[in-house]
Amino acid sequence: MSKQITMYDTTLRDGTQGDQVNLSAEDKIRIARKLDEYGIPYIEGGWPGSNPKDERFFELVRKETFRSARITAFGSTRRSNVRPEKDKNLAALLKTEVETVAVFGKSWDLHASQILEVTLDENLAMIEQSVAYLKEEGRKVFYDAEHFFDGYKHNPEYALKTIEAAVNGGADIIVLCDTNGGTMPYAISTILKEAFLHLNVPVGIHAHNDCGLALANSLMAVMAGATMVQGTINGYGERCGNVDLISVMGNLQLKMGYQCTPPERLSQLTELSRFVSEVANVPPLNQRPFVGKSAFAHKGGVHVSAIVKNPAAYEHMDPEQVGNRRRVLVSDLSGKSNIEYKSREMGIRLGGKGFDSQKIVDEIKKLEDKGYQFDAAEGSLELLIKKATGQFEEPFVLESFRVSIEKDRGGETSSHATIKIKVGNDEEITAAEGDGPVNALDNALRKALTKFFPHINEMALVDFKVRVIDGSDATAAKVRVQIESRDAREIWSTIGVSKDIIEASWQALADSVQYKLSKEVDD
Ligand SMILES: [Zn+2]
C-alpha cells in the first residue's frame, strides 16, 4: 500500500491573492464543487474575518453537500492582549460553523517583534491559546506556521518554540510555510528533519514559488516525512504563486509512488486545471506541466517521425494518464510525417484529388510564407486538408458583404454589416449590428446561416487576436487574425491573413463557421 499524502487546496483563499485572479462567492462555490468531484479532501474557502465576499461564501457553502471534501476556514491567531473568546477573528472562524479551521501564527521573531510588535513570549501565548480555544470549541485545527523556514534560519530555537506552542494548544497538524518562497530544496529537507525531532503530530508543507522551487520544495518535504501538501490549482497565488497542486499530484502519484487522489481521478487532472482557469478567467498556460495544451505537443519533424514509431522517444509519460493528449503541430518545420499523423488524428484520408502528404506540405509552406501559421490554427488546417483532398465542400458561398462604422461627436461608435450568401441555389441577405465591425459581420453571417443550419447557434467566439506580421511599413503591413471558437464539445482555432484587417477577420470567421458545419456533416 503506497503512502497517502493529503491534498489541501487553497485556490479559493491564497489563490485569489494572485494578480489577475478574481473569484466571486458563486465562482468559488463552482470551484469547490469541482474540487470535491475530483476528490480533494480539504478545500480552504477563505478568510471570513477579512472580507464580506468570504463571509458570503461561507453562507452559501453551508447549503452545499459535498461527497467527501471538507471546507475549511482560514484566520489568524488572536490579537495581542485579548482573550481568545473576545477575539473577532477567532469568532469569525467559529461563526462559519466549519469543522476544520486553519489558523496561522508567526514563527519568525522578526515578524513578532517588528510587524506584530509583540513580545516573543506574547506571540507564543497567542499561538497556544488560540489553538487551544478552537480545540475547546470542538474544531479540528491545522496550524500554519507562517515564515517557518525563514524564522528557523534566523532563530531556530524560537521558530521551534512557536510550533511547540501550537502542539501544546492541541493542533492536529502543523503546516510549515515557506511564505516568502525563498528557501532552497536542500534546506527544506534539513529543517524539516530537525522540526520532526520536536513534533509528535503530522506535518504539512505550504510552499510559495518565488524561486521557481515551490514544487521541488513540496516534494522534498514529502520525502522528509510531510503528509499534507497545501497548494492551489494552476499555482495561482500571491507574487509568483503557490505550489501548483496539479504538478504536485502528477509527480507524487505518477513518479514517486505516493497516493494523493483516487487513481481513476488522475485522468481528470487536465479537465480540473482548465475548469479552474475558465472560472478564474485566466488564460490557461500552454506550457503547464502535465496538463498544458503543449505539454505533449511535437513540432520538429525528427521528433514527430520518432513518436510515430514510439511515443516514449519524446514523452516522459502517456498523456492520457492525466487526461491530456498528444498533439502534432504543423508548421513550416514540419515534414510529411506530421501531416500523415495529423490527418490520421483528424480522420482524414490523404491522396484525394492527387493531394498526398508531400503536396499538402508544399501548400502549407506556401501559405506560411504569406504569414499563415497553422500550429495555432488547427481548425483552418483541417479545412485546408479536407478541401484539398476533396472531402469537404464549402456549405455556403459569399456573394458580398459590406461593413460600416459610424462615430459622431461625443457618441460611441456603432458598426453595421450586410452580407449576401448563397447556399445551394438559395440566396440570403441579412444585416446586423455589432460591437465593432467584426462582431457585426459575425452576427450578420450567423443570421444568414441560421435558416439553413440552425445548430450554428451552438457555437460562440471566445477569443480574437490580431497581430501585425511584417511591421516594416506600419498600416500597410499584413495582419494575422486568429479566432478561437467553441461549442459544447470542442474548442477550435482558425486563421486569416491580409493587409486588410476586415478581410483577415472574415477569413478566420468563415473558417470557424465552416469548421463547425464540417463537424455536423461528419456526424
Ligand atoms: Zn501562502
Rounded to the nearest angstrom, the distance between the alpha carbon of 237 and the centre of ligand 1 is 7
SS3 sequence, 176-219? EEECCCCCCHHHHHHHHHHHHCCCCCCEEEEEECCCCCHHHHHH
Rounded to the nearest angstrom, the distance between the alpha carbon of 19 and the centre of ligand 1 is 14
Residue 328 to residue 367: CA distance in whole angstroms: 18
* Residue located via cell numbers 525563498: 182
Residue 337 to residue 330: CA distance in whole angstroms: 10
Report residue 469: phi and psi, to 5°. Answer: -105, -30
Rounded to the nearest angstrom, the distance between the alpha carbon of 140 and the centre of ligand 1 is 20
Residue 448 to residue 85: CA distance in whole angstroms: 68
Task: Tell me the residues surrounding ligand 1 (ion) with CB < 5 Å.
Answer: 14
Which residues, 6 or more positions from 59, have their beta carbon under 8 angstroms from its beta carbon?
A: none
Rounded to the nearest angstrom, the distance between the alpha carbon of 206 and the centre of ligand 1 is 7
For the chain, how many helices (H) and strands (E)? 17, 16
Predicted pLDDT at 488: 72
Rounded to the nearest angstrom, the distance between the alpha carbon of 115 and the centre of ligand 1 is 17
Q: What tens-digit pLDDT sequence spans the chain (523 residues)?
A: 689 999 999 999 999 998 888 898 989 999 999 999 999 999 999 999 888 889 999 999 999 999 999 999 999 999 999 999 999 999 999 999 999 999 999 999 999 989 989 999 999 999 999 999 999 999 999 999 999 999 999 999 999 999 999 999 999 999 999 999 999 999 999 999 999 998 999 999 999 999 999 999 999 999 999 999 999 999 999 999 999 999 999 999 999 999 999 989 999 999 999 889 888 878 788 899 999 989 999 887 788 888 888 999 999 999 999 999 898 877 655 678 888 888 888 888 888 887 888 888 888 888 888 888 887 788 999 999 999 898 888 899 999 999 999 998 888 899 999 999 999 999 999 999 999 999 999 999 999 999 999 999 888 888 888 888 765 555 568 899 999 888 777 778 999 999 999 999 999 999 999 999 988 654 4
Rounded to the nearest angstrom, the distance between the alpha carbon of 236 and the centre of ligand 1 is 10
Q: Are 305 and 337 in contact (CB under 8 A)?
A: yes
Which residues, 6 or more positions from 12, have their beta carbon under 8 angstroms from its beta carbon?
A: 23, 28, 31, 32, 43, 44, 45, 46, 57
Rounded to the nearest angstrom, the distance between the alpha carbon of 217 and the centre of ligand 1 is 14
Rounded to the nearest angstrom, the distance between the alpha carbon of 207 and the centre of ligand 1 is 7
Which residues, 6 or more positions from 124, have their beta carbon under 8 angstroms from its beta carbon?
A: 161, 162, 165
Rounded to the nearest angstrom, the distance between the alpha carbon of 101 and the centre of ligand 1 is 15
CA 30 centroid distance within chain: 14
Residue 419 to residue 440: CA distance in whole angstroms: 10
Residue 183 to residue 207: CA distance in whole angstroms: 9
Cell of 336: 510529411
Rounded to the nearest angstrom, the distance between the alpha carbon of 14 and the centre of ligand 1 is 6
Q: Is the pTM of this model over 0.85?
A: no
Rounded to the nearest angstrom, the distance between the alpha carbon of 458 and the centre of ligand 1 is 41
Residue 28 to residue 201: CA distance in whole angstroms: 31
Rounded to the nearest angstrom, the distance between the alpha carbon of 179 and the centre of ligand 1 is 6
Residue 510 to residue 278: CA distance in whole angstroms: 26
* Residue located via cell numbers 479532501: 41
Rounded to the nearest angstrom, the distance between the alpha carbon of 158 and the centre of ligand 1 is 21
Q: What is the dihedral of CA 318, 321, 322, 325, to 10 degrees?
A: 50
Rounded to the nearest angstrom, the distance between the alpha carbon of 178 and the centre of ligand 1 is 8
Rounded to the nearest angstrom, the distance between the alpha carbon of 13 and the centre of ligand 1 is 9
Rounded to the nearest angstrom, the distance between the alpha carbon of 109 and the centre of ligand 1 is 18
